[in-house]
A and B are shown apart, each in its own frame.
Chain A
Amino acid sequence: MKLALRELRRRPGRFVVATAILALIALLLMVLGGLLDGLVAGSTGALRAQRGQLIVYSSTSQESLVRSRITPAVRHEVEKSAGAGRVAGLGSVQLGARVEGHGPRDLVPVVLFGYELAPRGLPNAVPAAGQVYADSSLKSEGVKEGSTVRLGPARTPVRVIGFLDDSRYSLQGTLWGSLGTWREVLAANRPGERAGQGVDQALVVSVGVADASKEAAMIDRATNGATKTLTVPQAINALPGVSQQQTVFNQIIGITIVIAVVVVGLFFALITVERVGLYGVLKAIGASSGTLFAGVLLQALVVTLIASAVGAASSLALAAAIPEGSIPFVATSSRLLTSTAYLLIAALLGCAFSLRRVLGVDPAAAIGAEQ
């Protein structure tokens, strides 16, 4: 083991190219993962922020918030079924927002949510008519507390009274106001999507238990099939593209890990071939195959750790350099650690290619070959 570490210290040049390639693969893994995390976080924040456990859509909406309509009669049935649980309306509309300081054609895409049950990060009291909380990502667009934002072609004014974090939806910043504000903005700007009095797009139900799938089935039975009730994780997966994005990116990440296995395998197999004579001498003076292989393994792990650190630092630099809103990339510590773990496993597997060769070294033949 000491020998392996000493070689790394004394002859670092030998490992530089392999470290550089692995660092690039580490960066690739972290970029792929960061893009996936950015896409998912930017699409699902508004649903993840909900305090309720269930989202109730109309059954013909295909779990699309925009197309869902819950009439007062259906809501009444849901309330009866939920019993002591809290039932609250939810509505949304995607619009262009005119922010102070922006040009007449420079609009900021936003999603206005109307709510009754405050999402995480907001006070329980629903804001007064015409007032909204804004997602903190909108700060980069110049939205400040006290700003008046004009929504849609009707330029409906809403005043920002505070901010909340991580509530983006459809990769857009969100505004959160009362259901009344939402209805007014919707009717003024989207006459074709107008919601009648008492009509909500969906209901958020808080039943106070973590696994609410039984309650979901009860609600759909109570409304005689007029609703489709999903748990929040199910509703997130039902968002267009979310599960497909996860599948495709995870497959690409999987193949990239296989490539990392091949690269590590190739590099250390070649290094092992180069050292056959040396291993023969070491075996002749009493070193076991296990000790020699442990040395190779240690070198692989150290090289991978250094490469991962370089990859992680580059990912963080990339995340800082990418302008807000251009590429949905986030570098989270959990993603960086997971990618490092994958690479370490790849290094272990890659090294296994060298094991056979180390075991097969014959001390006598190896020494003879050197003479």
Chain B
Amino acid sequence: MASPLLENLGVATHHATLTMFLALREIRQAKVRFGLLVTAVALLVFLILTQQALQNGLITSFVGALRRQSAPVLVFAVDGQHNLQGSVITPSLEKAIDGVPGVAEAGRIGQGTFTVEVGHGNQSNAALIGYEKSRVGGPDRLSAGRVPSAAGEAVGSSADFALGDRVRVVGARKGPEFVVVGLADNAQIQVTPTLFVSWQDYVAAARAVNPDAATVPPSVIGVRPAAGVTANTLTARINDASEEADALTRQQAAEKAPGVSAVRSSFNLIFLLFALVVPLVTGLFFLIVTLQKARPLTLLRAIGAPASVLVRSLLVQVAIIIGGGIALGTLLYLPLSQAKLGKLSLSFEAGAVVFWAVLLLVLGLVSAIIAARRVLAIDPLEATTGAGAR
């Protein structure tokens, strides 16, 4: 005679087998119905992941160069409103920054968008970031090549340039020509191919384009704090020292750049709506299916199938459908994530896939609660009266 423990184990195994049998058998019987739902979930997952990649790609292309430059603190003119190209540092502000205690090193950084010719090809746009000192404004990390060591050399954004490219600034006067000697990843600014060049080369480019320019002032001042002074402390000191200064850490400068918060807010609104649609569609589907199955479910209950088995079978189906949708949606997203949309580089983001997979699975299972409650409410006695068919 089997012990109660073994008996319980046997019952549990039997229930688990029954759960899977019911769940899988029904899916096999109604392939089109479940296939349509998997397709809908897959399309939604594909859209969510694509938009997540677009959002991150857009933000990186907007402010990648700010993250990539080496100065831990950037001082904008308050009039620039965190816009590198819109900020103009006056000589008095530059002097005030130099005099702030805790500044170990400060250097000019200029930024502008120019018309260029790459090789002898067509004209296109390029952003130039001119830096006076490589430790406060130059690229902090290269993916290929070397840092510039002479005038006329540049580090280019790796998505747009190749080592050895010759880039000539086109202007009213003959503009300077640069040779790309290094490449940096995620180094675009304002979704434009970007070159890090010396301050002198930047000034030459600005003068070639606009001979009427009286002076070429820096856009921001890059600052490195002295030992023992944090970047946050230094930004506070600089802002206290001058009402014209708007000092930000590198991370703050990237987050507060114009457009970044608007992009985040817009996409978050879209994500919220998509995150609501997925569980609603799944919940509706399983509710209707449960209503349709009322009669066979009542019969199953009448012949001894526990309600827990039927509920588990429902949840297994939800997990299979959403899991299948997530897998299919991710497969659709995979080739797109390797593509380049115009000047925008996308990338496969495993973290986003895991986040959305877990969230949608949880929301999907939660959405099945109404259907599960219908299953639990079935009275086996109704099998004898036909009420289960209602």
Contacts and interface: CB of A to CB of B under 8 A. Distances in A.
Interface string A20-43: 110011011001100100000000
Given A252-B51, A327-B269, A189 B88 contact: yes
A265 interface: yes
B281 A263 contact: yes
Interface stretch (A102-110, A157-165, A293-301): A102-110
B46 A28 contact: no
A196 B80 contact: no
Given A21-B280, A194-B212, A240-B191, A262 B39 contact: yes
Interface stretch (A118-126, A217-225, A266-274, A278-286): A266-274
Contacts of B90: 153
A273 B36 CA distance: 15
Interface stretch (B63-71, B149-157, B282-290, B299-307): B282-290
A67 B36 contact: no
Interface in B123-170: 123-125, 170
Interface string A84-113: 000000000011100000001101010000
Nearest to B79: A96
Interface stretch (A57-65, A140-148, A334-342): A57-65
A31 B287 CA distance: 28
Taking each of B40, B170, B244, B283, which has the highest tally of chain A beta carbons within 10 Å of its own beta carbon? B40
Contacts of B190: 240
Interface string B348-376: 00000000000000000000000000000
B44 A259 contact: yes
Interface string B257-279: 01100100110011001101100
Contact of A195 (B83, B212, B259): B212
Contacts of A21: 277, 280-281, 284
A83 interface: no
Contacts of A262: 36, 39-40, 43
Interface in A136-178: 152-153, 171
A2 B206 CA distance: 75
Contacts of A326: 262, 265
Contacts, number: 162
B347 interface: no
B214 interface: yes
A196 B210 CA distance: 9
Given A17-B284, A60-B171, A255 B277 contact: no
Interface in B68-89: 77-81, 83, 86, 88
A192 B115 contact: no
B312 to A, nearest CB: 23
Contacts of B246: 105
Contacts of A240: 190-191
A235 B290 CA distance: 57
Contacts of B243: 104-105
A156 to B, nearest CB: 11
A265 B36 contact: yes
A269 B33 contact: yes
A362 B78 CA distance: 77
B6 to A, nearest CB: 43
Given A153-B88, A244-B341, A259 B43 contact: yes
B209 interface: yes
Nearest to B218: A192
User: Nearest 3 A-B pairs (CB), nearest first?
Assistant: A96-B79, A196-B212, A262-B40
Interface of A: 17-18, 20-21, 24-25, 27-28, 31-32, 35, 60-62, 64, 66-67, 69, 94-96, 104-105, 107, 109, 152-153, 171, 187, 189-196, 199, 240-241, 244, 248, 252, 255-256, 258-259, 262-263, 265-267, 269-271, 273-274, 326-329
Given A105-B243, A153-B79, 7 more contacts: A60-B123, A60-B170, A107-B78, A187-B214, A196-B212, A270-B285, A327-B269
